[in-house]
Chains A and B, each alone.
Chain A
Amino acid sequence: MLAIVNAEIVPVVGDPISGGTILVDGGKIVAMGKDPEVPSDARIIDATGRTVTPGIVEAHAHVGISEQGLGSEGSDHNETTDPVTPHMRAIDGINPRDDAFREFREAGITTALVPPGSANLVGGTALVLKCAGEIVDDMVILDPAGMKAALGENPKGAYGKRQNKAPATRMGSAALLREALFAAKEYADKRESAEGGDGDPPSYNAKHEAMIPVIRGEMPLRIHCHRADDIVTAVRISEEFELDYTLEHVTEGQYVVDLLAEHEVRCAVGPTLQHGSKVENRERDFRAPLALAEAGVPMCFTTDHPVIAGQFLPLTAGIAVSWGMDYDLALRAITLASAEHAGVADRVGSLEVGKDADLVIWSGDPLDYTTFADVTIIDGCVVHERQV
């Protein structure tokens, strides 16, 4: 058993607890409060005067799959041989030895949703993992965790521009995405009919198989979209096919905030700190997250690691506060809101009894630029301890 004592606990759900104790056993939080009884054999971590929050959750990071410092050798996130590859699985591209996992732990990031890249209209399935381990399968907390899709410039660039094949335009992208959804629907319907004794099952198709949970609304389509018109197209197609869906990046969300509010669309906003590498992210900054938050649209922050190094996710939330975002909301947008976006809020994102013991002891205000994660704990194990 592990006991973190004398902590300034910010659980994200519920009121802060000053001078509180968190008891951890079997990788779970088993008690939390002003003074729960600490068993005599417990390992004690004294957090006097220090803030303890849930582990930070990155809702959209290519950690392990777009590896650092290796150039093209470390690039395994875009299977750019075909614009529709739903049968790809991010888990098959992840290297747990990517040094970025260490940086994540050092920055207090304990959980990440890892999607394939955005070169393909349909890129494959994402997964959610803990940021410590040697074997990716042991790190997984949810797989699959959504199907990646992309609109806007990236698919056009990867195919129309570089390979002289479809899609070359935004309407071309939308048509190919619809086609993939429609073909999967037909395949799923046929298979269902055959299972009910009506006709022959369709011959096996790996792509359509992978799309069945999406078309049935059992798994979210996670759609990369920056510009407002791409956001609207994402909503249009998703509503047409009655999908469960999330939006990724949402750079110009401020222009269509009413639409996003009306459909209660879950949005992962970022990378807000990125330079304008493309026309479609020209407007990236903190106007979109502020507008979304104000309108009550469910939103979280993402760095899109390695576009912005994931270790700067807490700093991103800090800058959002300097732009005028409510502090609690900004902290929520890198913890519980990210966990909700990723579909793992039953396990992580807040400090509550019964949840995974993923937590961070900070040297100061977790959102300030000069603050360290002194101790990072995943599933009750200390995975980072700062040497002073």
Chain B
Amino acid sequence: MRAYRGARFYPVDSAPIDEGVMLVEDGKIVGIGRDIEVPANAEVIDLAGKVVIPGLVDAHSHVGMWGDGEGDASRDGNERPGPITAEVDAIDSVNPHHVSFQSCREGGVTSVMIHPGSGNAVGGLCFAAKTRGEVVDDMVLKAPTGLKGALGENPKRGGEGKDSPKTRMGTAALIRDFFARAEEYGRKKERGKDPDPDLALENGLRVLRGEIPFRVHAHRSDDIATAVRLCEELGIAFNVEHCTDGYMIAPFLAEKNVVAHVGPGLSSRGKVEVANRDERNAALLAEAGVKVCLVTDHPFLDVRYFMAYGGVAQKHGLSFSDTLRALTLSPAESIGVEDRVGSLAPGKDADFLVLAGEPFSYKSPVLSTYIEGVEVYSRIDRRGG
């Protein structure tokens, strides 16, 4: 057993604890509080003056499958051709030795949900993993965790030549058609008619049966409204990825109980669909009552700078506690892994960060990252050589 003692702890789901103690055994948190008795056999780690927060959870990432200076060789995010590639599974594109997992540990991200890209109207299965390991199957936290969908500019760009979609209504029609075929496929199976096996429709059925949500990429407010329209029509669980114009229709999204995965942060406005990007988005959504998760969309925001993105969200009006929650417990809930990660509480995985000071400042770099009680990153002092 180990006792981490003396730090200020931000458990996220309960009040901050000054000069607290956290007990860790077999990769789990077994106790946390101010007046916790430290067993005699426990190894005590003195963290006086430091701050401890849960490991960050990034609900929209492409780590292990995209970018980080590998050029075309690692572009494994968007399967082509065809706008419906519901049969693919992100887990089959992920390389645990990709440098982005080291970046996660440096940036304090201990859990990620990895998505296929947004080039296709239906892109494939998402899954959640811890950011440490040699074999991706051993890293899995939960799989699958959703089916990726995309609206707006990206799927329109994907089609070759005369292929659909060429318009926003074309993309919506493809998605409707896909789920209609999945429903029919399901009916045939129920009637014992054994249709030809179809992996894509099988994954569509998982969404229709409520096993996993549809996670829909949408930036512009009209695309976000289309996501809501489609999913309500189909009666499926969903959330909105990026949600860039969400602040324009925040009360509508609150009324619909939409969960917004807001990001990537620190971004410019390269596409027309992000022309109205506003740094206050997360704050305005939260104020309206929308559940907000901040996301990196790594590699589009290098995951090493996730905390800085939190700082920017806080600067533009998201409260300190909402910011912390948007980086930890809210994404854990959105992924469906809040029983394991996202806060510091007995019974949860010992995934946590030791910071030099209060979060969201350059003065508070991540000193150590722990996953299931194991220190997986320790800050390197790069001065002097």
Nearest opposing residue in chain B for A287, CB measure: B382
Q: Which one of B68, B268, B360 lies within 8 Å of A308 (CB-CB)?
A: B268
Q: Is A319 an interface residue (CB 8 A)?
A: yes
Please determine whether B275 and A369 come into contact, CB atoms closer than 8 angstroms: no
In the assembly, what is the distance between CA of A367 and CA of B272, in Å? 30
In the assembly, what is the distance between CA of A239 and CA of B86, in Å? 56
Nearest opposing residue in chain B for A309, CB measure: B268
Please determine whether A285 and B312 come into contact, CB atoms closer than 8 angstroms: no
Q: Which one of B268, B302, B363, B385 lies within 8 Å of A275 (CB-CB)?
A: B302
Q: Is B384 an interface residue (CB 8 A)?
A: yes
Please determine whether A312 and B67 come into contact, CB atoms closer than 8 angstroms: no
Q: Which one of A70, A277, A318, A323 lies within 8 Å of B275 (CB-CB)?
A: A70
- What residues on B are CB-neighbors of A318 within 8 Å? 308, 362
- Interface digits, A264-276 against B, CB 8 Å rule (1 contact, 0 not)? 0000000001111
In the assembly, what is the distance between CA of A324 and CA of B367, in Å? 13
Please determine whether A275 and B272 come into contact, CB atoms closer than 8 angstroms: no
The distance from the CB of A262 to the nearest CB of chain B, in whole angstroms, is 18
Q: Is A48 an interface residue (CB 8 A)?
A: no
Q: Is B299 an interface residue (CB 8 A)?
A: yes
Q: Is B276 an interface residue (CB 8 A)?
A: yes
- What residues on A are CB-neighbors of B267 within 8 Å? 309
In the assembly, what is the distance between CA of A273 and CA of B361, in Å? 16
Interface band, chain A: 35 or more
The distance from the CB of A342 to the nearest CB of chain B, in whole angstroms, is 21
Please determine whether A322 and B69 come into contact, CB atoms closer than 8 angstroms: no
In the assembly, what is the distance between CA of A281 and CA of B299, in Å? 13
Please determine whether B269 and A278 come into contact, CB atoms closer than 8 angstroms: no
Tell me the count of chain B residues lying within 8 A, CB to CB, of chain A. 41
In the assembly, what is the distance between CA of A388 and CA of B208, in Å? 47
Q: Is B44 an interface residue (CB 8 A)?
A: no
The distance from the CB of B272 to the nearest CB of chain A, in whole angstroms, is 5
- Interface digits, B350-364 against A, CB 8 Å rule (1 contact, 0 not)? 000000000011111
Q: Is B314 an interface residue (CB 8 A)?
A: yes
Q: Is B192 an interface residue (CB 8 A)?
A: no
Q: Which one of A70, A276, A306 lies within 8 Å of B70 (CB-CB)?
A: A276
Please determine whether B299 and A277 come into contact, CB atoms closer than 8 angstroms: yes
- What residues on A are CB-neighbors of B361 within 8 Å? 368-370
- For B269, B299, B300, B363, the residue with the greatest tally of chain A CB atoms inside 10 Å of its CB is B269
In the assembly, what is the distance between CA of A290 and CA of B383, in Å? 7
Given contacts A275-B302, A322-B362, whether A369 and B69 have CB atoms under 8 Å apart is no
In the assembly, what is the distance between CA of A310 and CA of B298, in Å? 19
Please determine whether A315 and B266 come into contact, CB atoms closer than 8 angstroms: yes
Q: Is B271 an interface residue (CB 8 A)?
A: yes
Given contacts A290-B382, A294-B383, A369-B315, whether A279 and B70 have CB atoms under 8 Å apart is yes
Please determine whether B298 and A324 come into contact, CB atoms closer than 8 angstroms: no
- What residues on B are CB-neighbors of A69 within 8 Å? 269, 271-272, 274-277
Please determine whether B308 and A71 come into contact, CB atoms closer than 8 angstroms: no
- What residues on A are CB-neighbors of B299 within 8 Å? 275-277
Please determine whether A369 and B272 come into contact, CB atoms closer than 8 angstroms: no
The distance from the CB of B104 to the nearest CB of chain A, in whole angstroms, is 13
In the assembly, what is the distance between CA of A54 and CA of B152, in Å? 42
Q: Is B178 an interface residue (CB 8 A)?
A: no
Given contacts A276-B68, A315-B312, whether A324 and B381 have CB atoms under 8 Å apart is yes
Please determine whether B70 and A369 come into contact, CB atoms closer than 8 angstroms: no
- What residues on A are CB-neighbors of B271 within 8 Å? 69, 71
The distance from the CB of A71 to the nearest CB of chain B, in whole angstroms, is 5
The distance from the CB of B365 to the nearest CB of chain A, in whole angstroms, is 4
Please determine whether B71 and A278 come into contact, CB atoms closer than 8 angstroms: yes
A277-332, CB < 8 A from B: 277-287, 290, 294, 305-310, 312, 315, 318-319, 321-324
- What residues on A are CB-neighbors of B179 within 8 Å? none
Given contacts A273-B305, A274-B302, whether A308 and B382 have CB atoms under 8 Å apart is no
In the assembly, what is the distance between CA of A318 and CA of B312, in Å? 12
> Other than the known A275-B300, A319-B362, A321-B363, what 17 A-B pairs have Cβ atoms closer than 8 Å?
A68-B269, A69-B272, A69-B274, A69-B275, A274-B302, A275-B67, A275-B302, A277-B67, A277-B299, A280-B69, A282-B70, A286-B382, A290-B382, A294-B385, A310-B268, A369-B362, A370-B360
Q: Show 14 residue pairs from A and B whose CB-CB distance is below 8 angstroms, ordered by the A residue.
A: A68-B275, A69-B275, A70-B275, A71-B272, A100-B268, A275-B67, A276-B69, A282-B68, A284-B69, A306-B268, A306-B269, A315-B311, A369-B311, A369-B360
